[in-house]
Amino acid sequence: MPSYIMGLVEVAERPGMISFATGLPDNSFFDTEGLRGSVDRVLSGDGACPALQYGATAGFRPLREKIAERCRSELGFEASADDVFMTNGSQECFDQLGRMFLNRGDTMAVENPGYLGALQSFSSYGPIFRAVEMTDDGPDGEMLSDSVESGAKMFYSIPNFQNPSGRSYSRSARLSVSKIIEGSGCLLVEDDAYGELGYNGRPGSTIKSMAPEDTVLLGSFSKTISPGMRVGWMVVPDWMKEVANRSIEAASLQSGSFSQRVIDDFLSNNDYEEYLSSLRRGYKHKKRIFLDAMEDRLPEAMRWNDPAGGMFIWLRSPDGTDAMKLFELALDKGLVTMPGRPFHIKGGENTVRLNFATPSAGEIEDGMKILGGVCRDLYCL
């Protein structure tokens, strides 16, 4: 599959470009002072050499204990540090899961639309993707049941503030998915990359809490603390621990334990709840600025949603139109957007993913002027 995501990151970095395209956090939200303090502490005293040395394959145990504690207190399921495997960002989990469970020609159920980066990663293992259509409530239950009954090995899902659409599963959709998956032999991969960024809290319980033996929950500090540190994890059922350990060891021996120690220190020495609350307030505010600019600048025939968390707004041009043209024309005028088509197994020609988290207020204003002009030119609205 073509590499859209990192390609667009490069385009967006060209001088003078405004980007609504990628999923990068706002630079000004990084706690550089807090992290500098953590790096200093990690590299001081007796801990300095272990921090620079090889570490355990599953990751730095105190951090895994903190993640397990959060699973119990916030995500509603029993977990211990032994169930948590640290990875180089949660992106690596896709490759690990593909390596562990997919053979060429296996069927795999995926959300349509779904996260392109995961589709790219899983596709290295040659599965046949079965599209499960997404509604505003969650995945189409009948399509998911059909896929599972026909032997799908996995279902990859993002129940909270999905990338690309910003949508979340309703409570009843979570329950239905758990019932379809439980005991079916199909593994649910529950990606919670944006779960901590709910402006009014989490939109529902984790499906892992409903079907713990059939679900792997993926998490990441990329959207909260720093994507550059590459610290993600998977919380696996008991039966998967040994194979997960062997698979990570074979691939990379271990993921970067220096970053894990820095994050562990950051969590120990800062009020993480307060930190998260301020992030959520910050992103909620940016979303408001972005939506206001959309209201002001985009013609009425364009449609979009108002997500309750995460970083993305899902824009639709009128039915039958091709948003790829919108992408190309906007690019010519200095605005990078992300066409929605590549996030689909089928359909999605008239969709665009917009990221409100990265651009500044000024860039939002200028970028939206460009987008509004392009929409009017293209669709004669």
Ligand X SMILES: Cc1ncc(COP(=O)(O)O)c(C=O)c1O
For position 247 contacting ligand X by CB under 6 A, the verdict is no
How, if at all, do strands 107-112 and 84-88 pair? unpaired
Choose, by CB under 6 A, the member of 25, 89, 339, 340 that binds ligand X: 89
Q: Supply the DSSP symbol for 208.
A: T
User: Up-side HSE of residue 263: CA atoms within 13 Å toward CB?
Assistant: 30
| CA-wise closest residue to 231 among 199, 258, 265, 249 | 258
150-189 footprint of ligand X as x/- string (CB under 6 A): --------x----x--------------------------
Nearer to ligand X, 38 or 224 (CB): 224
**Beta strands 84-88 and 231-235, pairing class:** antiparallel
Alpha-carbon distances, residue 150 vs 36, 92, 153, 174 (angstroms)? 51, 27, 9, 21
Q: Residue written as tokens 């206001």? A: 292
Q: Would you call 309 helix, strand, or coil by DSSP?
A: strand
Minimum Å distance from CB 92 to ligand X?
A: 7
Amino acid identity of 176? S
C-beta of 79 vs 217, nearer to ligand X: 217
Shortest approach of ligand X to residue 88 CB, angstroms? 7
- Based on the shown chain and the rule CB under 6 A, indicate whether residue 91 belongs to the binding site for ligand X: yes
Number of residues forming the site for ligand X (CB under 6 A): 14
In whole angstroms, the minimum distance from the beta carbon of 379 to ligand X comes to: 29
Tell me which amino acid residue 73 is. S
Which residue number, 38 or 163, has a Cβ lying nearer to ligand X?
Answer: 163
Q: Are 368 and 296 in contact (CB under 8 A)?
A: yes
- Distance between alpha carbon 173 and the CA centroid of its chain, in Å? 19
For residues 231 and 265, the answer to whether their CB atoms sit within 8 Å is no
Of 35 and 193, the one with the shorter C-beta distance to ligand X is 193
Q: Nearest approach, Cβ of 310 to ligand X (angstroms)?
A: 9
80: its two tokens = 């211990």
How far is it, in rounded angstroms, from Cα 62 to Cα 330? 47
Q: Which stretch binds ligand X (CB under 6 A): 44-52, 58-66, 68-76, 85-93?
A: 85-93
Token digits for 199?
């402006």
232 lines the binding site for ligand X (CB under 6 A):
yes
Considering only 39-47, 89-97, 149-157, 299-307, which stretch makes contact with ligand X by CB under 6 A? 89-97
List the one residue from 148, 154, 193, 197 that touches ligand X (CB under 6 A): 193
Minimum distance of ligand X from residue 113's CB (angstroms): 12
Q: Which residue's Cβ lies closest to ligand X?
A: 89
Pick from 55, 227, 309, 372: which binds ligand X (CB under 6 A)?
Answer: 227
In this structure, the strands spanning 215-220 and 312-316 are unpaired
Binding residues vs ligand X (CB under 6 A)? 23, 89-91, 115, 117, 158, 163, 191, 193, 220, 222, 227, 232
